[in-house]
Amino acid sequence: MKDDMHEQKHFVKYLLTFVFIFIIMIAAVFSIHYSGILGFDTIGATTTDSIDTLPSDTTSSESISQTSSQTQTTETTESLTDTEDRTQTESTERSTKYPPATLPIIPTQTTSSKTTATTEKTTVTTVTTTQTTTSETTTTETTTTEITTTETTTTKPITPEELHKITAEDITDEKMAELITKKYLTVHSKSRPGYKLWSVKNIVVHYVANPGTSALQNWKYFENKNNVSAHFIIDIDGSIIQCMPTNEVAWAVGTKNGNYTSISIECCHPDSTGEFTEETYISLLKLVSWLCAEYDLDRDDVIRHYDYGIQKSWGVYHKACPLYYANDKEPASHERWEKFREEIYIK
Ligand SMILES: [Zn+2]
């Protein structure tokens, strides 16, 4: 029995030793497994590790995303188009989905897209401004054109009435001095006796009766002692020569009384009708208006050479001077004269 007992104890001892060793081995295997030295399931372990580490990364990525989305919210407010918003939203989604490693780039992209948006906005604003400016310019141009048109309208159809409308500004001493050239005749009995006028009662209009001659040619005629003269000669081009001071006597109207109480104006004319050119006509209007103002005369004091009746043996003779405005054979000539007198500017 003692041997059996001894063998039995021996067996238990071995069994326990074996179990102990087995447990130790198992423990060793587990410890090795968990320390990863043996490399069991390496790839899966790494994936698991990255997944395990993700939360911290995700948190950081989320914080970036949140920053981005905050920026984007601001940008959305600032941004101009939905497309840009969508692009930004997509980049946000991408930043959330994709690994953290790509995240730092996203804000840079967002920034660049923001810059682009700002640039586009500026461009759009500039375009709008340009358009506004252009439209303003166009409006201004249109206005200018309208003004031009209006001016053209007033200038183009110039009616004789408008053209002949003399104002006080047209007959200032300065303006008349520009219009009149003083070229006094030599004092001698034939044309410029140098006698003083008794008074100035009338302004007398004549025509030179020599078609196509100039004021200067007629001045020379006077200067050559031809027993005729006048105070003024108006050229076909409207220029005026003054032959003597307005307080002197000119041999112009054929009567002593007339010559000593009037200022005479000779007018050149291009043809035998005796019609004045527009230039001559307007200069005559100005000169007559100015003299009326100077001598306090009325339009009725402006007369034609015709109006001095010269007593002849057979009756009173009226010289047809100025012919186009004082011709008894053409009644319309007297109407022309009356029209001229109406156009004289009287203060
Ligand atoms: Zn005359």
Q: What is the pLDDT of residues 197-230, one digit of tens each?
A: 999 999 999 999 999 999 999 999 999 988 899 9
HSE-up of residue 331 (Cα within 13 Å, Cβ side): 0
CA distances from 121 to 79, 87, 91, 112, 346 (A): 8, 16, 21, 14, 68
CA 17, distance to chain mean position in Å, is: 115
Indicate the average pLDDT of the chain. Answer: 73
Q: How far is the CA of 164 from the centre of ligand 1 (A)?
A: 23
- What count of other Cβ atoms lies within 10 Å of the Cβ of residue 248? 19
> Mutual orientation of helices 331-343 and 278-295 as an angle, nearest 10°?
60
Distance CA(343)–CA(338), nearest Å, equals 9
What DSSP designation does 328 have? T
Catalogue the E-assigned strands of the chain: 180-182, 202-207, 232-234, 240-242, 262-267, 302-304, 310-312, 315-317
% of the chain residues with pLDDT over 70 = 57
User: Structure pTM?
Assistant: 0.56
20-29, 280-289, 336-345: the lowest-pLDDT one: 20-29
Q: Which of 277, 280, 276, 295 is nearest to 203 (CA)?
A: 295
Q: How far is the CA of 147 from the centre of ligand 1 (A)?
A: 46
Q: How far is the CA of 309 from the centre of ligand 1 (A)?
A: 12
Are the beta carbons of 244 and 278 closer than 8 angstroms?
Answer: no
Q: How far is the CA of 289 from the centre of ligand 1 (A)?
A: 19
Q: How far is the CA of 169 from the centre of ligand 1 (A)?
A: 30
Q: How far is the CA of 252 from the centre of ligand 1 (A)?
A: 6
Q: How far is the CA of 187 from the centre of ligand 1 (A)?
A: 21
